[in-house]
């Protein structure tokens, strides 16, 4: 039905009951109807996704963890990696055991003493034993012969008596453990002489001094082969990563 102006009822350019563009629906000349509410979120939608289905962004730590886990899984499933790792570990264990065995078997040091001073040999071996030094003495007829044997590396050192203790001759340098043994022996000889001058018994004093020691109590003793275990653990970590 048309109005007197030639326009259809319901407003300019429109039809009755049809909403105009850009505004709410109107029912004739009545008040505007409210817009339809937005649809509620679907409770069955998976967690971690928004309404549009887009996954959330991963943190850098998560990305690193995923990549590292994948690489580690690939390496652990590789037969070449497993065989190589086992071979290297066996080699490291063998080297550690060999070093321990070789290091614990140092060659005994040979020390020459003059035949006229044979009493020095016994005292020298006694002091070396108390200091856990592997040492063997050998008598030489005279000092010239002893010096020649030291120069030819037949002897590690030649020990002779001196006014203030002992005199030692070596080819290149004197080892620290042999230096410690000779120092203790020289001081012991001086002490024995002073005890004899005072009317005492040097042998009895030496026996009493040798019996003295230090008793050590370890509250938290280190396990055996601790250094070797640390090396093997570090090597294993390097091989894995």
**Domains defined for the chain, CATH in brackets:** 109-207 (3.40.190.10)
How much is the pLDDT for 12? 46
How much is the pLDDT for 129? 86
Checking if the pLDDT of 177 tops 60, the result is yes
pLDDT category of residue 236 using cuts at 50, 70 and 90 = low
How does DSSP classify residue 117?
G
How much is the pLDDT for 208? 80
pLDDT category of residue 1 using cuts at 50, 70 and 90 = very low
Of 21 and 174, more confident: 174
How much is the pLDDT for 78? 81
Which of left, alpha, beta for 198 (phi over 0: left; psi -120 to 50: alpha)?
A: alpha
Checking if the pLDDT of 53 tops 90, the result is no
pLDDT category of residue 216 using cuts at 50, 70 and 90 = confident
**What would the mean pLDDT of 90-108 be, rounded to a whole number?**
73
Top-confidence range, 65-74, 141-150, 194-203: 141-150
Measured at the CA of 60, the angle between CA 233 and CA 234, to 5 degrees, comes to 5
- Counting other chains too, the contacts that 180-186 makes at CB distance below 8 Å and 24 or more residues apart are 180/131, 180/133, 181/124, 181/127, 181/128, 181/131, 181/133, 181/135, 182/124, 184/127, 184/130, 184/131, 185/120, 185/123, 185/124, 185/127
Reading the block at residue 142, the tokens are 């005279």
Of 231 and 36, more confident: 231
pTM beyond cutoff 0.75:
no
Helix (H, G, I), strand (E, B) or coil at 98: helix
């Amino acid at each position: 039905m048309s109005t007197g102006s030639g326009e259809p009822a319901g407003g300019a350019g429109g039809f009755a009951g049809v909403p105009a563009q850009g505004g709410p629906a109107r029912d004739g000349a009545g008040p505007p109807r409210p817009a339809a509410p937005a649809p509620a979120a679907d409770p069955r939608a998976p967690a971690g996704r928004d309404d549009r289905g887009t996954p959330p962004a991963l943190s850098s730590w998560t990305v690193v963890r995923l990549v590292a886990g994948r690489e580690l899984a690939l390496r652990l499933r590789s037969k070449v990696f497993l065989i190589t790792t086992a071979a290297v570990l066996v080699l490291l264990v063998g080297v550690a055991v060999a070093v321990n065995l070789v290091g614990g078997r140092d060659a005994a040091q040979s020390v020459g003493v003059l035949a006229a001073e044979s009493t020095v040999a016994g005292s020298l071996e006694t002091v070396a034993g108390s200091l856990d030094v592997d040492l063997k003495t050998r008598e030489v007829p005279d000092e010239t012969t002893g010096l020649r044997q030291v120069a030819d590396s037949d002897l590690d050192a030649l020990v002779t008596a001196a006014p203030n203790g002992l005199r030692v001759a070596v080819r290149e340098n004197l080892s620290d453990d042999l230096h410690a043994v000779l120092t203790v022996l020289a001081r012991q000889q001086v002490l024995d002489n002073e005890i004899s001058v005072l009317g005492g018994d040097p042998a009895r004093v030496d026996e009493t001094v040798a019996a003295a020691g230090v008793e050590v109590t370890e509250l938290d003793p280190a396990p055996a082969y601790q250094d070797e275990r640390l090396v093997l653990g570090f090597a294993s970590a390097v091989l894995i990563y």
